[in-house]
Structure 1
Amino acid sequence: MDLALLVNPAARGGRTLRLLAPLVRRLRQGGAEVSVIVGDGPADALDRACTAVAERPDALVAFGGDGLVHLALQAVAGGEVPLGIIPAGTGNDFAAALGLTGRDPVKTILRGKARAIDAARVGPDEWFASVVCCGFDSRVNERANALTWPPGMARYLLAAAGELRDFRPIPFRITLDGRVVEQEAMLVAVGNTRSYGAGMRICPTAEPDDGLLDVTILGAVGKGAFVRSFPRVYRGGHGAHPAVTMVRARTVTLEAPDVVAYADGERIGPLPLTCAVSPGALRVLI
């Protein structure tokens, strides 16, 4: 196999880099030719990944977490080169959705079996594979990204506590395959797969190969009810809450004032935005 290995040197605080040499050695012992791609930043890494994909390797392999998978997706979605994933991030939600966690990723890559799944566009020129979020959760991301301390997940917990103090339900206009829904909501999530944020099953019934996007709308609730019900999302049990609506659509347009959307944990930009599924647009090594 001819593999282009895309690496995030910052994954897990740089600890992933220590695993790079043994990983490359195992891949080469398995008969693969490996070229390593490390960019000076996200834009440079994407340019290098696109250049590598243009040379038609047997796979572009993302060695990192959901953020790196999102970047690699921009290079391979809609094309013939499959995506390989060696999970090495904090959440690894996309890898988990495809059953790639808890297995030997090198054996998976060397096996070379590809599965076609859906990918989706958000806005005019960005692909996503897992979940687009906007509302309380995206505002927590915005707040956390502005903090320099504490490290890791503790930063998001601090940001969530801070956002909860000021948060008010947001007036959303949601267009689902032409049908318009207008309501105040705490958050809206559009999922190609079921989870985000290291295991929160926000779209618990989402399937990555059904040609549809799952939409979860958490309507306006009091802060106390929000805090009490939120832990249910880890089990996917929040769908039973009367304020939660779950629907499916091929195209979803989101409109709301002063709301920024995140996709696969990466900042996309302010609403309005349209999400549109592309059935079978991504091939993944499984």
Structure 2
Amino acid sequence: MSGSSTGRSPVRVIHNPTSGGGAWDGEALLRAALKDRKVEWIRTEHLGEARGAARDLREGLLVVAGGDGTVNEVVHGLGLAGFPERVTLALLPAGTGNDLARTLAVPINPEEAVDLMRAGRTRVLDAARVRSVDVGERFFVNVAVGGVGEKVSEAADDASFKGRWGELAYSRAFFEVARSFNAPDVRLVVDGEERRVRALNVAVGNCRYAGGGWPAAPRANPEDGLLDLVVVEETGLPGLIELGWKALAGADYLRGEGIFFARGRSIRVETVPPGGFGFNADGEIVGRGPVEFSVLPRALKVIVGPGYAPEPPEMALGRPGFARGLVGVGRRRP
């Protein structure tokens, strides 16, 4: 479903001035665009403020000027409030990675992003809930990564590392960490079906990108009522290099050697023995040890760009053959 939803409803702006190193210069444009609206402007200073500001909103336009970490906080806050159906989320990308904006085709340019907000073309996306013993319950809308991905997020979020490698930071960090990572045995349960793998990396995606443009779940459709599971199995350095080149070139690396792909409404990930690695969603630890993910269909109304397509365009021809549940791609293990 799409349409215009900004109307004359109240507006709450959550602005993280430190996102992207404080380089975002869209504030004047945004204030001018909202000059005739009733606006509450919240400038965050501490971790958790964005979550609280989103949690107590029940209706209106919620504008987030920040990076993926800020957006993640906001989505979690909306989830704690039950994802109020009268709230519409608008992104003004101001971070380094801006991964959710990539899936939603929201431009990085502040003027274009503000124009998109005013146009108000909306879609209703699924969201994801993750539960674990140590962290409890959290909500997200993008991608959660575990194993190498958890360690890579820590390395790639380092300011000096990002400055040196830019958009290649995640890919570079992936190879650095993966070479010495001890892949644990992992038990996967997708919609009741079980599988064992030795996993370097596990991604559970509602949307497609993580770590500044890495296609962690490249076939994910945020409106299909399913979560995508992408597992990079234990493989040698040549296999990792091949995977990396395919991913960065936009090729369908899910068909390559050492990749396991599945789709389902519920996904449980458990290392054997437990506690082998944790999961990170946009810089936030969402669980360690046994972690259970579930999809929340049609939970979140968001403003999207004209180039947004629920079905990834390059996957549109091949995807209908994939059924719900366990669908392996590449090397299969008994």
TM-score by length of 1: 0.88
| Alignment of structure 1 residues 38-57 onto 2, 5 Å | 38-51=43-56, 53-54=57-58, 56=59
Instruction: Report what 1:253 is aligned to.
Output: 268
CA contact (8 A) 1:129 1:264 kept: no
* CA shift digits 1:119-152 (9 cap, x unpaired): 010114211111111111212223456x574454
Q: Which has the higher helix share?
A: 1
Instruction: Report what 1:112 is aligned to.
Output: 120
CA distance in 2, matches of 1:112, 1:226: 41
CA contact (8 A) 2:16 2:43 kept: yes
CA distance in 1, matches of 2:252, 2:179: 25
CA contact (8 A) 1:9 1:38 kept: yes
Instruction: Report what 1:22 is aligned to.
Output: 29
| Alignment of structure 1 residues 217-256 onto 2, 5 Å | 217-234=231-248, 235-256=250-271
CA distance in 1, matches of 2:175, 2:192: 36
Greater Cα shift, 186-195 or 88-97: 88-97
Instruction: Report what 2:67 is aligned to.
Output: 65
The aligned amino acid for 1:27 is: L
CA distance in 1, matches of 2:162, 2:103: 26
Secondary structure class of the residue paired with 2:48: helix
Match for residue 216 of structure 1 among 221, 230, 242: 230
Structure 2: give runs of 5+ residues left out of the alignment.
1-7, 305-334
CA distance in 1, matches of 2:94, 2:114: 13
CA contact (8 A) 1:203 1:236 kept: no
Secondary structure class of the residue paired with 1:140: helix
CA contact (8 A) 1:32 1:110 kept: no
CA distance in 2, matches of 1:109, 1:153: 32
TM-score by length of 2: 0.76
Instruction: Report what 2:99 is aligned to.
Output: 93
Instruction: Report what 2:146 is aligned to.
Output: 134
CA contact (8 A) 1:169 1:220 kept: yes
Q: Does 1:269 align with 2:290?
A: no
Q: Does 1:12 align with 2:20?
A: yes
CA distance in 2, matches of 1:217, 1:282: 27
| Alignment of structure 1 residues 51-200 onto 2, 5 Å | 51=56, 53-54=57-58, 56=59, 58-77=60-79, 78-80=83-85, 81-101=87-107, 104-123=112-131, 124-144=136-156, 149-152=160-163, 154=165, 159-160=173-174, 162-200=176-214
Secondary structure class of the residue paired with 1:139: helix
Greater Cα shift, 76-85 or 181-190: 76-85
The aligned amino acid for 1:229 is: L
Number of matched residues?
A: 279
CA distance in 1, matches of 2:99, 2:162: 20
CA distance in 1, matches of 2:164, 2:140: 22
The aligned amino acid for 1:280 is: R
Closer, same or farther in 2 for the Cα pair 1:199/1:73, shift >3 Å? same
The aligned amino acid for 1:66 is: D
Closer, same or farther in 2 for the Cα pair 1:231/1:265, shift >3 Å? farther
Secondary structure class of the residue paired with 1:12: helix
* CA shift digits 1:66-103 (9 cap, x unpaired): 11111111233421211111112222221221222267
CA distance in 2, matches of 1:265, 1:204: 19
CA distance in 2, matches of 1:143, 1:92: 17
Closer, same or farther in 2 for the Cα pair 1:75/1:189, shift >3 Å? same
CA distance in 1, matches of 2:70, 2:183: 32
CA distance in 2, matches of 1:240, 1:251: 23
**What CA RMSD, in Å, does the superposition of the two structures yield over aligned residues?**
2.2
Greater Cα shift, 69-78 or 129-138: 69-78
CA contact (8 A) 1:204 1:236 kept: no
CA distance in 1, matches of 2:200, 2:143: 16
CA contact (8 A) 1:200 1:236 kept: no
CA distance in 2, matches of 1:153, 1:250: 39
Secondary structure class of the residue paired with 2:296: strand
Identical counterparts, % of pairs: 30
